[in-house]
Amino acid sequence: MDVLIGNEEDFTAALGFHVDGVDTELRSLPAPRFAAMIRQVVDAFPGLRLVATTLRGVQSASRNDWSAIAWADGEVHQAEQRTGLEVLDRVGGGDSFASGMIYGLLQGYEPARALEYGAAHGALALTTPGDTSMASLAEVEHLVAGGGARIVR
């Protein structure tokens, strides 16, 4: 499966695709506008089977809104919106999103479920110090099932 995962800057700076209506401060990242951009990507690269991106709305350095969307097989899926996530370290959130999503895909999960694994893993990475996720699979699955992003150890 050909998969493309990136954030808004990856799509803009590396590939030349723009998301209309996104403010320069990235406070609001409307999923429908990102979905429209992803459809342009898919039109330009028809071999892609899945395209995903995080939606990180920056309220402040320590508070972000967090979600993600993915296009697969003609459908757009959005992960749970986590509003006001308390960020301890924003470095690594995107990588953790990608690894969680890839884990879900390798497990054979449907794209929407794999997306939730990615978004949950990214959220957990943002809420712990350091740029490498130390979240366990059980913690990711707890969040996927609707639990809070606060890690319980």
Given a cut of 70, whether residue 151 has pLDDT beyond it is: no
- Asked whether residue 151 is assigned to any structural domain, the reply reads no
pLDDT band at 75 (very low <50, low <70, confident <90, very high): very high
In a domain, 150, yes or no: no
Q: Mean per-residue pLDDT for 36-60?
A: 93
Contact 69, 34 (CB under 8 A): yes
Residue 13 within any structural domain of the chain: yes
pLDDT of 26 reads 65
Is residue 12 one of the residues assigned to a domain?
A: yes
The mean predicted confidence, pLDDT, of the chain is 88
Task: For residue 153, tell me if it sits in a domain.
Answer: no
Domain count, the chain: 1
Nearest of 7, 120, 101 to residue 55 by alpha carbon: 7
Q: What is the pLDDT of residue 152?
A: 54
Residue 85 falls inside a structural domain: yes
Lowest mean pLDDT among 39-43, 82-86, 117-121: 82-86
- CATH code of the domain containing 101: 3.40.1190.20
What tens digit of pLDDT does each residue of 114-150 get? 999 999 999 998 888 777 788 889 989 998 998 775 5
Is 152 domain-assigned?
A: no
Q: How many other CB atoms sit within 10 Å of the CB of residue 19? A: 18
Residue 93: both structure tokens together: 């959130």
- Which pair of structure tokens corresponds to residue 152? 């319980």
In this structure, are residues 127 and 85 in contact, taking their beta carbons and an 8 Å threshold? yes
Under the banding of pLDDT at 50, 70 and 90, the label for residue 25 is low
Token pair 């690269």 is at which residue?
A: 45
3-class state of residue 71 by DSSP: strand
